[in-house]
């Protein structure tokens, strides 16, 4: 099915199941510990040996020699694989660095070997016996120092956009802001580590893995190993968190496959936490310069956003200027991205890549500009709203309710109680501040397929390689099938995460929910046609409800129709050019209250509110879970998350959960989430859009703005830690 014209009335609009707050259908399995994650596929891959990955002890250079003789003789050891005996390996389409080092080393903790043994403890002990002789080369590890040598990325990354005369308009603007902001490297820090079990049967490989994008992973694993794609099967029914860190094939998957081939039996590998942050990917640090020129009445006439980030030679930039191309009006515009070559571990997608760090800077700049204008921050954003793409005014937004989000958020939060002058609200020793920020994230549609089957007992089975990374994919897919076929939710079985199933959109970029359900919608249309034809009913007149199909004066029970043989529908949803004709985006507003200790500068977040406009909300329960999780990550980005680079050695020093701090329950207050009633017929037949990443966009800035309102201390370098506040805190009364 191809989606080329805006959606009209369709079966989803009945909203008998879709749009209702159903609990997760996979919840009982997860809460009872019976959902098998990648490392727990004991029945599927019995008698698995254990692999321990050894990471490089240098960030750049070469491996002169690897001595594995002692390790091979250690108790229980079955195999040791290095670049010397791994065979010829390629590099996946989505990998910036090779997943196995040798002889060249491209970054710290790049995998240099895997030791396979009968037990986990034996593999770990033997790994300590492997001796690697390195020839170290000095690399480039400091973004600040590398900034001047940065270059424009590839043109396909759209590194620069210009509209009219920014420089001239900015120079003549009555009110101006020119400020630079810094966001640090950050880690995904998901609960489940990167984990895989590999098993070979002849020349066929099955990999049970924790991966968000099954088809991408299958293709890249086949390419890396140099085997035909049809010889590789990936299975990932449950993923314990990804946030973009598991979008692509990572080293534990390859090393498990190599280890299993060498040992002649299944091998399971989970990257140790101390290896994950350097071995896999992270959100790259940025330096961002923002310039805004406005009239004294607050109308933006000139806006520029320039960003510098770093990566390995084949890596991409952090697209931190994305939102600035679309969020606010202004006739004279400039955005630019620059990419520096760094020898740090690969920078790649992390929840809301681009917009998340970009809005950490832009939404502070908007507050700073509002203060210069002596204007309320909400009002300043409202008067600079736009109904068209500012860079391409002929292109309207499919839907845009930013102003509604801002105004409803302000009203619900009690924004009118905020004091414009910092440091004016106090409760005992606590300085109280209110902060806000707009939220923005682009909407993407991805080609996605599914298969749906009416079983002989009248039940419905859904099969697609879509993944559930804790987002509720199982549930919204079941809701979609139930709505389309008129059966109870309990009669739908959903099977996910297997490359043997039709290729889906996968989970990422907040495109997964809308795209995968749209693909299932297409498959259900095919099945509805097959059912109606068997029932002797015109498919155009067929109505599905209460486990039956009706039309033309006829009614047939679905169970009776399938009693003699199951009926199947399979299709893929593809997209035309509606996204080019209309800009599709999601919008929101974040409001935060903080308390800052007047003596110690300790920050406590006390209230949080998010108002979101994201098309049809397919399930308010799972959608809210996604937004509050994103808000929590935003607090982490604001106050604590920072991968600290050792600029001498070239690695992230705090590469474990003891030293890389993320929010815990005590850090997070009550979080309120409001979804505006909205449908977007330009997005898909579901009329939905993404929401999982919108929830993080702007949160960190809202926190930083609240801290400024409480203390009068403006911090432009994240995270906002005590040392950055204490030196400028107001005197204690």
User: Rounded mean pLDDT of 590-594?
Assistant: 98
Q: Is the pLDDT of residue 733 over 70?
A: no
Q: What is the DSSP string of 618-642?
A: S-HHHHHHHHHHHHHHHHHHHHT--
In a domain? residue 358: no
Query: Same domain, yes or no, for 409 and 454?
Result: no
DSSP classification of residue 283: B
Residue 243 belongs to some domain of the structure: yes
Q: Which of 385, 309, 397, 406 is nearest to 353 (CA)?
A: 309
Instruction: Indicate if 254 and 291 belong to the same structural domain.
Output: yes
Q: Which stretches within 327-471 are classed as H helix? A: 355-372, 377-383, 402-413
Whether residues 314 and 222 fall in one domain: yes
Domain of residue 631, residue span: 397-443+584-726
Residue 194 lies in a domain: yes
φ, ψ for residue 504 (rounded to 5)? -110, -175
> 310 lies in a domain?
yes
Q: Are residues 549 and 658 in the same domain?
A: no
Domain shared by 70 and 192, yes or no = yes
CA distance 450 to 574: 12
491 plus 637 within the same structural domain: no
**Chain mean pLDDT for the chain:** 97
Q: Is residue 244 part of a domain?
A: yes
Would 696 be classed as within a structural domain? yes
Give the Cβ contact number of residue 495 at 10 Å: 17
Domain boundary among 580, 602, 624: 580
pLDDT single digits (tens) 676-721: 999 999 999 999 999 999 999 999 999 999 999 999 999 999 999 9
Clarify whether residues 427 and 343 are in a common domain. Answer: no
Q: In what order do the strands lie in the sheet with 49-55?
A: 77-82, 111-117, 49-55, 267-270, 195-201, 204-209, 232-235
Considering only CA atoms, which of 247, 251, 255, 258 is closest in space to residue 216? 247
Cα 148 from Cα 690, distance rounded (Å)? 37
List pLDDT tens digits, range 325-379: 999 999 999 999 999 999 999 999 999 999 999 999 999 999 999 999 999 999 9
Give the pLDDT mean for 484-493. Answer: 98
Give the Cα separation of 577 and 445 in Å (integer).
11
* pLDDT score, position 731: 87
Asked if the model's pLDDT at residue 732 lies above 80, the reply is no
Cβ atoms within 10 Å, residue 246: 32
Q: Both 710 and 601 in a single domain?
A: yes
What pLDDT does residue 697 have? Answer: 98
- DSSP label at residue 724: H
Closest to 160 (Cα-Cα) out of 173, 168, 151: 151
Last residue of a domain, one of 351, 383, 413: 351
CATH number of the domain enclosing 71: 3.90.1170.50
Is the same domain home to 497 and 548?
A: yes
Residues 557, 641 within the same domain: no
Measured CA to CA in angstroms, residue 211 lies from 252, 502, 507 at distances of 11, 16, 9
> Do residue 438 and residue 476 come from a single domain?
no
Instruction: With respect to residue 297, please indicate whether it lies within any of the assigned structural domains.
Output: yes
- Quick one: what percent of the chain has pLDDT higher than 70? 100
Residues 99 and 87 in one domain: yes
Tens digit of pLDDT for each residue in 11-40?
A: 999 999 999 999 999 999 999 999 999 999
Nearest by Cα to 643 from 346, 283, 311: 283
Sort strands 195-201 and 175-183 into parallel, antiparallel or unpaired: unpaired
Query: Which residues carry out catalysis?
Result: 693
What residues have CB less than 8 Å from 330, skipping those under 6 apart? 300, 301, 302, 303, 384, 390
Distance of alpha carbon 277 from alpha carbon 244, whole angstroms: 13
pLDDT of amino acid 531 = 98
Which pair of tokens denotes residue 686? Answer: 């579901």
pLDDT higher than 80, residue 267: yes
CB neighbours of residue 28 within 10 Å: 11
Measured torsion, CA atoms of residues 368, 373, 379, 382, in degrees rounded to the nearest 10: -80
Q: Could you tell me if residue 227 is inside a domain?
A: yes
Q: How far is CA 207 from CA 44, 82, 224, 255, 445, in A?
A: 10, 20, 14, 11, 28
Phi-psi domain of 510 (left: phi exceeds 0; alpha: psi -120 through 50; beta: other): left
Contacting residues for 559 by C-beta, under 8 A, at least 6 apart:
456, 457, 458, 547
CATH code for the domain in which residue 576 is found: 3.30.365.10
Total domain count, the chain = 3
Cβ atoms of residues 701 and 381 within 8 Å: no
Which domain-ending residue is among 292, 317, 351?
351
């Amino acid at each position: 099915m191809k989606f080329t014209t805006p959606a009209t009335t369709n079966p989803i609009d009945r909203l008998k199941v879709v749009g209702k707050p159903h609990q997760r259908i996979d919840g009982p399995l997860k809460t009872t510990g019976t959902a098998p994650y990648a490392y727990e596929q004991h029945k599927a891959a019995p008698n698995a040996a254990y692999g321990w990955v050894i990471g490089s002890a240098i960030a750049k250079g070469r491996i002169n020699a690897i001595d594995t003789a002692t390790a091979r003789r250690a108790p229980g050891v079955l195999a040791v694989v290095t670049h010397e005996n791994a065979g010829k390996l390629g590099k996946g389409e989505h990998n910036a660095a090779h997943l196995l080092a040798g002889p060249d080393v491209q970054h710290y903790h790049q995998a240099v070997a895997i030791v396979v043994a009968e037990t986990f403890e034996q593999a770990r002990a033997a790994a300590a016996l492997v001796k690697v002789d390195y020839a170290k080369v000095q690399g480039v590890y400091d973004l600040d120092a590398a900034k001047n040598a940065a270059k424009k990325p590839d043109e396909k990354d759209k590194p620069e956009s210009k509209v009219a005369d920014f420089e001239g308009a900015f120079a003549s603007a009555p009110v101006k802001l020119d400020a630079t902001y810094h966001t640090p490297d950050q880690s995904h820090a998901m609960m489940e580590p990167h984990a895989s079990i590999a098993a070979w049967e002849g020349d066929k490989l099955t990999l049970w893995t924790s991966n968000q994008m099954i088809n991408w992973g299958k293709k890249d694993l086949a390419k890396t190993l140099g085997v035909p794609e049809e010889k590789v099967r990936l299975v990932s029914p449950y993923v314990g968190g990804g946030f973009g860190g598991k979008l692509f094939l990572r080293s534990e998957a390859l090393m498990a496959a190599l280890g299993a081939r060498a040992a002649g039996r299944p091998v399971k590998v989970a990257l140790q936490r101390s290896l994950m942050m350097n071995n896999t990917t992270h959100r790259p640090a940025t330096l961002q310069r923002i310039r805004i020129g406005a009239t004294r009445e607050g109308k933006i006439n000139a806006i520029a956003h320039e960003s510098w980030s770093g990566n390995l030679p084949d890596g991409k930039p952090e697209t931190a200027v994305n939102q600035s191309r679309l969020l606010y009006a202004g006739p004279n515009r400039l955005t630019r991205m620059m990419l520096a070559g760094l020898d740090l571990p690969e920078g790649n997608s992390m929840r809301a890549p681009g917009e998340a760090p970009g809005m950490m800077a832009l939404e502070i700049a908007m507050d700073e500009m509002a203060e210069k204008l002596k204007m309320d921050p909400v009002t300043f954003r409202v008067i600079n709203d736009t109904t068209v793409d500012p860079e391409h005014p002929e292109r309207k937004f499919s839907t845009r309710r930013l102003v509604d989000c801002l105004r409803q958020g302000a009203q619900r939060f009690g924004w009118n109680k905020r004091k414009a002058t910092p440091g004016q609200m106090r409760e005992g020793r606590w300085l109280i501040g209110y902060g806000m920020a707009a939220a923005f994230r682009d909407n993407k549609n991805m080609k996605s397929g599914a298969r749906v089957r009416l079983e002989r007992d009248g039940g419905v089975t859904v099969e697609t390689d879509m993944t559930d990374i804790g987002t509720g994919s199982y549930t919204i897919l079941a809701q979609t099938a139930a709505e389309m076929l008129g059966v109870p939710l309990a009669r739908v079985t959903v099977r996910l995460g297997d490359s043997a199933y039709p290729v889906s959109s996968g989970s990422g970029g907040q495109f997964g929910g809308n795209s995968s359900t749209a693909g299932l919608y297409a498959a259900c249309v095919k099945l509805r046609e097959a059912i109606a034809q068997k029932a002797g009913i015109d498919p155009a007149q067929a109505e599905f409800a209460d486990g039956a199909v009706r039309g033309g004066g006829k009614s047939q029970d679905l169970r009776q129709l399938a009693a003699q043989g199951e009926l199947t529908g399979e299709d893929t949803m593809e997209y035309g050019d509606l996204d080019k004709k209309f800009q599709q985006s999601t919008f929101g507003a974040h409001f935060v209250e903080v308390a800052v200790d007047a003596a110690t500068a300790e920050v406590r977040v006390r209230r949080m509110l998010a108002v979101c406009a994201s098309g049809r909300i397919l399930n308010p329960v799972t959608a809210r879970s996604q937004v509050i999780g994103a808000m929590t990550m935003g607090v982490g980005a604001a106050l604590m998350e920072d991968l600290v680079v050792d600029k001498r050695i070239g690695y992230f020093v705090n590469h474990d959960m003891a030293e890389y701090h993320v929010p815990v329950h005590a850090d997070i207050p009550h979080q309120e989430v409001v979804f505006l009633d909205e449908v977007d017929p330009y997005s898909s037949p579901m009329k939905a859009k993404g929401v999982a990443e919108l929830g993080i966009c702007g949160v960190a800035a809202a926190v930083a703005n609240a801290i400024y309102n409480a203390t009068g201390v403006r911090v432009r370098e994240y995270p906002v830690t005590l040392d950055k506040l204490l030196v400028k805190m107001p005197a204690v009364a």
